[in-house]
A and B are shown apart, each in its own frame.
Chain A
Amino acid sequence: MIDFNFDSNRPIYIQLIEQLELQIISGKIPPGERLPSVRDFALQAKVNPNTMQRALAELEELKLVYTERTNGKFVTQDTELLNQYRTHFATIKIKKFLDEMSELGIESKTIVKLLKTKGGNQ
């Protein structure tokens, strides 16, 4: 069961996409897994079925989800694609991290050192 959380200041379908994307890319919803029906999924997330439909349609555009005509929707089995998405998201987060470090005035050499000692302990 996925734990959905929404901020009412942002479109719900976008937050649904983000949260499902993360679940899929991280493998929490494994490749090839059959998704619940739109209706059941909407109830789980406590959102309107049309909103869930809209989010799933977008995930299908992103190729993270596909429809088998009579069977319902499934998570992609394309591990290559999942790796690409993972790398893409990791790059974004690392860039953000590096920007923050540079704001703190920390040099790359120090960052590497810190990562090896502090990061390695956790």
Chain B
Amino acid sequence: MSKTQPSPLVVCRNLCKAYGTKTILQDINLEIPRGKIIGLLGRNGAGKSTLIKILNDLITPTNGEATIDGGPIGIHSKQIISYLPERTYLDKTMTVAQTIKYFYEFYDNFDPAKAKRLVHELNLDLNAKISKMSKGMQEKLQLILVMSRNAELYILDEPLGGIDPATRDYILDTILSNFNDNASILISTHLIADIERILDEVIFIDQGKIILIDNADNLRAKHHTSIDEVFRQTFKANVNR
């Protein structure tokens, strides 16, 4: 964890995104260092997914720039980022085993043995057809596939949404035990209470702007309460303004 400090994994400078006159992201400045788990927290429509889509080269910013591992977003950044999108993109006609094989052929850094081990640990069936699996099971599979790549940055957009509370802890353990010192994880979620114990740092985003970046424990110390509660209080105040 305390090896030499290379350049930050992600740097955003004055990043803006607008559709016509509607501003979605405004002057986003942030750095994501290596070896951290960072929560990207905001209400619905705050701009979380837009920021994530820019980092994954799915949309281009209107202004400003983002660099990944010191370079522009593109072929290299896609190789080192493992991305869990909000919506499932799995081919429902395939089985779990076929999907794993497909990922193995598609990504150089995909570890099929790890994927199979996680499938087993999370009680999924290698021979099950995806169309026959529940939404929660599909989300588990998708997270397994994402975490089975030896990436440098994992970007998880709402990874717990359809997963029942009893399984969430197990998912968090899976995330914790599968990230290495040199990699970082950016997790966007509104289920803060479930996830806050594993976070190093939090980014609060609202109405397209970053309103706070801080270490999770420092925030708890400063406000004498949980991140979840700090979040609620922050946004209650914002509505009243």
Contacts and interface: CB of A to CB of B under 8 A. Distances in A.
Interface of A: 6, 8-14, 38, 42-43, 46-51, 53-54
A38 B176 CA distance: 12
A50 B1 contact: yes
A50 B36 contact: yes
Main DSSP-derived SS at the A contact region: helix
A10 B172 contact: no
> Which 3 A-B pairs have CB atoms at the shortest separation, nearest pair first?
A11-B217, A8-B226, A11-B220
Interface in B171-223: 172-173, 176-177, 181, 193, 196-200, 216-218, 220-221
B207 to A, nearest CB: 26
A55 B224 CA distance: 18
A13 B221 CA distance: 10
Given A43-B173, A46-B172, A51 B217 contact: yes
Contacts, number: 58
Nearest to A49: B1
Contacts of B228: 8
B197 A6 contact: yes
A114 B196 CA distance: 45
Contacts of B1: 38, 49-50, 53
Contacts of A38: 1
B220 A46 contact: no
B182 to A, nearest CB: 12
B176 A50 contact: no
Contacts of A51: 200, 217
Given A9-B226, A9-B229, A43-B173, A48 B200 contact: yes
Contacts of A13: 217
A42 B176 contact: yes
B197 A46 contact: yes
A22 B2 CA distance: 27
A50 to B, nearest CB: 5
